[in-house]
Amino acid sequence: VTVSVLYWLLLRCCRVAVEMSIVPITWNEFYRTAQTCRYQHPRALRDQVEALKPACTDLTPYVYRDPSIGALLLAKGKMLNPTPAGEPAVHFAITLKPQFPNAYPILSIEQPPAGWRIANHPHVDREGLCYLD
């Protein structure tokens, strides 16, 4: 009985770990998930993300499924390449939650160029997140 209980717990933990991992998805799945999970303003969300695509490299959609919040949508890409002066590439991630205030995407700059302070960006708040217009 002890072995079967431990086996069941192991399977349960593995299933939860798989369910709660961040996995890449297609853009169609990304937008469909936004609609089925009742994200607010799904059309505005699609328009904003589509407007970002030409300005960044390798913008890739992901989903993080969490039973407590449903689906958390993410997209990650590179905004600026490294410069000859040694400034690093600027990467960003859009993180979307269905009930986020204003329900609009958030742009998070993960690695600002040398000498830049994230707070200097016109759309960045104190937590280093900036709202897409």
Tens digit of pLDDT for each residue in 27-40? Answer: 999 889 888 877 76
Structural domain boundaries in the chain: 21-131
Q: And the tokens for 1?
A: 């009985």
CA distance 57 to 48: 16
pLDDT at 124: 37
Tell me the whole-structure pTM to 2 decimals: 0.53
**Of 62, 63, 67, which is closest to residue 77 (Cα–Cα)?**
62
What CATH number belongs to 21-131?
3.10.110
